[in-house]
Structure 1
Amino acid sequence: MLAVSDPERKKALLLRLRRIEGQLRGIQRLIEADTDCERVAQQLAAARKALDKSFFIMVGCLIAQGDTPPDDVADMLARFS
């Protein structure tokens, strides 16, 4: 089972996800304000990159726990990347 048990890692990940949540609310406001598509796309790309980084932090957590064989980690990366 994957769990973020390290308190510092957990705190950092939750903070990152809260920032992403704020980014997504900001994107919604841009769309509601009829902001040009390029600016909205730029913000979506930034949010996607932030989510990707969060995902890789979780993969690092999985690897650090040492319970998952390397082939399973590779399979997960292939499935979700």
Structure 2
Amino acid sequence: MIWIEMSRDNIHGGGEWGFTKCLWSPAYKFSSNKKRKISWLYWNNILKVQQGDIILHLRGKKHFASFVGYSIAAT
């Protein structure tokens, strides 16, 4: 399977949580009125990544975004 990791900034967690080091996503987001937490199925896809999958790294905003590399999932 091929996946795309997207980040708008260079920090993206920093250190061992940094861009291209690991895949992570929020567990939930708040509803538009901020009264309740909701799970977002888009973020749940991270649980489907398997060892050997290819991850393409996309960084930047709008027309400045570009692919900066790729990785192979280790675990």
Fold match (TM-score > 0.5)? no
Q: By percentage of residues, which structure has more helix?
A: 1
Relative contact order, higher structure (CA 8 A, sep 6+)? 2
Task: Judging by fraction of residues, say which structure has more strand.
Answer: 2
Task: Give the TM-score category using the shorter length.
Answer: under 0.3
